[in-house]
Amino acid sequence: MILDKLFSAAFLISLFSATIRLAGPISLAAVGEVFSERSGVLNLGLEGIMLMGAFAGFWGFFVSHSLMLGILLAMFSGGLLALLMAYLTVTLNLNQVLCGLGIFLFGTGMASFLDRLTLGGSTTPAITPALLPVFPLALRKIPWIGPIIFEQNILIYLSWILILIASFVFSRTSIGLRIKAVGENPQAADTIGLNVKGIRYACVILDGMLGGVAGMMVSVGSLSMFRENVTLGRGFIAIAIVAFGRWYPLRTFLGAIIFGWAYAFQFRMQTFNMLIPREFMFMFPYIFTLLVMVLSAKGYIAPKALGTNYIRGGS
């Protein structure tokens, strides 16, 4: 009986549609992290940045009913935190891991504080209208493809466009080459005239802006509400997926799809009357993702200067 349900068209369509929706925030945040890490900066504060973006984007959309304003506020809040991260690591040359953890804690606490200050916190939860599909009904009625591809909200399609642009930047433009040069050998890049600190600033800030929008995809795009720790560790998953994707945007997107499938699968398995403990089902996406990463770990070659601050004229 359970196998019949697992392989039914309704279950599979629902599973794959949810996979795309749940993978969206992780993939966008991970692609932003690709820019930062390709330039040599490990941004462990991504989870805090996503939480700030989740709050700012939700608040902007809630008070103005303007999705564009929500997106702009999410980008601004994420970019502002990332600017602080860049200042600490690129200008002051402080330890990237410690600074990233500090940004994570600061963003997490600030998002909760602002939520309680402006929206009343969890005692009076505010709700925004659900984002409706943007494609016409005729496309959404196409068997299988329609409900999976064409019933997503506009933020999902926006993330796809940004991921394709990021892939083009790294594979086809001189900008991508400069970013990779700074992340591989900042001394040599500086010698040929590249602005190492400027490129790192730009990449970290872009990481924050995309992370902010990724957070909004959770609060506005998926839940239509904000609550404490709404991203549930997706920022850290995004950082891990960057390594799985070998620091390439499209491969990183594939990693996000794998995690999104695992997350969607555990949600739907909980609806079946099974003897598997509920706590194990909550752990399943993380265990599955970790297993996939371990099995594919061979051949990881990170940017050589990743996590290393660049001091001009230093050793």
Residue 130 forms part of a structural domain: no
User: If 0-12 CB within 10 Å is exposed, 13-18 middle and 19+ buried, where does residue 314 land?
Assistant: exposed
Among all chains, which residue has been given the structure tokens 């809630």?
A: 62
pLDDT band at 8 (very low <50, low <70, confident <90, very high): confident
Collapsing DSSP to helix, strand or coil, 231 comes out as coil
Q: What is the distance between the alpha carbons of residues 299 and 301, in angstroms, rounded to a whole number?
A: 6
Residue 258: what residue type?
A: I
What average pLDDT score do residues 97-108 get? 97
pLDDT at res. 122 = 59
- Give percent of the chain above pLDDT 70: 94
Residue 305 forms part of a structural domain: no
Give Cβ neighbours of residue 305 (< 8 Å, ≥ 6 apart). 40, 182, 183, 184, 185, 186
Torsion from C-alpha of 118, 122, 123, 129, nearest 10 degrees: 70
Specify the CATH number for the domain of residue 160: 1.10.3470.10
Predicted TM-score (pTM) of this structure: 0.93
pLDDT band at 3 (very low <50, low <70, confident <90, very high): low
Q: Write phi, then psi, for 186 (nearest 5 degrees).
A: -60, -30
pLDDT at res. 314 = 60
pLDDT at res. 283 = 82
**What b/e readout covers 148-177, taking b as 16+ CB neighbours within 10 angstroms?**
bbbbbbebbbbbbebbeebbebbeeeeebe
pLDDT higher than threshold 80 for residue 24? yes
Residue 315 forms part of a structural domain: no
Mean of per-residue pLDDT scores for the chain: 91
pLDDT band at 197 (very low <50, low <70, confident <90, very high): very high
24 close to 215: Cβ distance less than 8 angstroms = no
pLDDT higher than threshold 90 for residue 125? no
pLDDT at res. 272 = 67
What average pLDDT score do residues 85-91 get? 97
239 close to 44: Cβ distance less than 8 angstroms = yes
Q: State the residue range of the domain holding 85.
A: 2-122+136-295
pLDDT band at 275 (very low <50, low <70, confident <90, very high): low
pLDDT higher than threshold 60 for residue 1? no
pLDDT band at 174 (very low <50, low <70, confident <90, very high): very high
Residue 131 forms part of a structural domain: no
Using alpha carbons, select from 210, 291, 289, 282 the residue that is nearest to residue 254.
Answer: 289
pLDDT band at 151 (very low <50, low <70, confident <90, very high): very high
pLDDT band at 220 (very low <50, low <70, confident <90, very high): very high
Residue 18 forms part of a structural domain: yes
Residue 10 forms part of a structural domain: yes
pLDDT at res. 301 = 84
pLDDT at res. 2 = 59
Residue 53 forms part of a structural domain: yes
Q: What is the distance between the alpha carbons of residues 72 and 153, in angstroms, rounded to a whole number?
A: 17
pLDDT at res. 274 = 61
Provide the domain count of the chain.
1
Maximum average pLDDT range among 30-39, 132-141, 267-276:
30-39
pLDDT higher than threshold 80 for residue 108? yes
Residue 314 forms part of a structural domain: no
For residue range 292-308, what is the model confidence (pLDDT) as tens digits?
778 777 777 889 999 99
